[in-house]
Amino acid sequence: MAEQIFPTGTLMAGKRGLIMGVANKNSIAWAIARQLAAQGAELAFTYQGDKLKRRVEPLAASVGSDTLCDCDVTNDAQMDATFQTLKDKWGKIDFLVHAIAFAGKDQLAGSFIENTTRDGFKSALDISAYSFVDAGRRASEIMNDGGAMVTLTYLGSERVIPNYNVMGVAKAALEASTRYMAADLGPRQIRVNAISAGPIKTLAAAGIGSGRHMFRFNKAAAATQDNTDPMGVAGAALYLLSDLGLSCTGETHHVDGGFHAIGMPQEDALKASMEG
Ligand code: NAP
C-alpha cells in the first residue's frame, strides 16, 4: 500500500488529548492519531502491557509524544492512573479517542444464540461499551468545555453480520451510550460521537470468523465498490474532534463507502467478488 500522507494544518493546534486503542501501525486509532498530529494536536496514548508498549512507544515518538500509560480498561487502578497522569501533565484535555473492543474468539463464530455465554457477554459489553462510558466520565472531569470525544463502532450493531455476534450487541450498547453521554455533556458543549467504520484489516478484525468473505462482500456491495480506507475514518475523526464538528453530537457517522445505504449489491460486482 502507498504511504499515507495525512493533510497538514492547524485545525487541532493547541488541543491535547488521549488516544486509547493503538496496538500497531494498522490500528484505526493510529490513523486517527497521525491525522490529529498532522493538524497540530498534542497526544497521549494508552497501551496494554509491556509487549504493546514496545510497539506503541516508537509510534508515539514519531508524532512527538512521550506520554504513554499502561491501561487495561477493566482495571480501575490503571484507569485512575491514566487520567491522573494527564491531569498532572496538562491540567486539562480537549479530546478523547476510544478505539477499544474485545470479545473472546469463541464468542465470534457460529450461532449467536448457542455460543454466547454469560461471561462472554459480560466481558464484551464491559470492554467494548462500558469502557467508553467510564473513560468518557473520567475524561470529562479534566476536559475543557467545548471538547469532544469519539468512539469506533460497526454496522453489526444495526444489522446481523455473520460471526460478529455478541460484538454487535456491544456496539449497539456503545452507540446508545454515545447518545446518553452526548446529552449529559452537551450543556458544556462537549460533543460525543461514534464513527461506524467499514471493515479494515487490523488485529481486531482478524479475530472475526469469515474475514476474507467480509472484505470481498463489502467491496462488492459498497456504493464505492471498494473497502473502507482508514484515512477516511481519520478524516471523519478530525472533523468530529475539531471545531469543524461544532453542533454535531450524539451521532453515529458511517464511514464505510456507503455500504450501510445499499439494499442490494450490483449483480456483476457481487458475482465478481464471489468468484475472485
Ligand atoms: P486493533 O488495532 O486491534 O485495536 C483494538 C484495540 O483495543 C487494541 O489496542 C487492543 O489492545 C485494545 N483493547 C482490547 N481490550 C482492551 C482492554 N481490556 N483494555 C485496553 N485496551 C484493550 O483493532 P481496530 O480494528 O483498530 O479496533 C479499534 C476499534 O475500531 C474497535 O472498537 C473496533 O471494534 C472498531 N472497528 C473496527 C473495524 C475494523 O474492521 N477493523 C470496523 C469498525 C469498527 P490489545 O491488542 O492489547 O488487546
pTM of the model: 0.97
Q: Which helix (H) or strand (E) holds 63?
A: none
With beta carbons less than 8 A apart as the criterion, state whether 167 and 108 touch.
yes
Grid coordinates of 206 = 482478524
161 Cβ below 6 A of ligand 1: no
Distance from Cα 21 to the centre of ligand 1, integer Å: 6
Distances (CA, A) of 236 to 25, 27, 150, 239: 19, 16, 10, 5
* DSSP three-state, residue 239: helix
DSSP code of residue 138: H
With beta carbons less than 8 A apart as the criterion, state whether 249 and 240 touch.
no
pLDDT at 227 over 80: yes
Q: Exposed, middle or buried, 193 (CB in 10 Å: 0-12/13-18/19+)?
A: buried
Predicted confidence at residue 68, as pLDDT, reads: 98
Averaged confidence pLDDT in the chain: 96
Domain 16-205+228-264: give its CATH architecture. Answer: 3-Layer(aba) Sandwich (3.40)
48 Cβ below 6 A of ligand 1: yes
Predicted confidence at residue 276, as pLDDT, reads: 63
CB count in 10 Å sphere of residue 276 = 8
With beta carbons less than 8 A apart as the criterion, state whether 9 and 34 touch.
no
pLDDT at 209 over 80: no
Ligand 1: which of 50, 69, 72, 152 to mutate, judged by most atoms within 8 Å of the beta carbon?
152
Query: What is the per-residue pLDDT across 72-106, written as a single tens digit (0 to 9) for each?
Result: 999 999 999 999 999 999 999 999 999 999 999 99
Predicted confidence at residue 238, as pLDDT, reads: 98
DSSP code of residue 255: E
Q: Which helix (H) or strand (E) holds 225?
A: none
Residue boundaries of the structural domains of the chain: 16-205+228-264
The residues carrying an active-site annotation are 154, 164
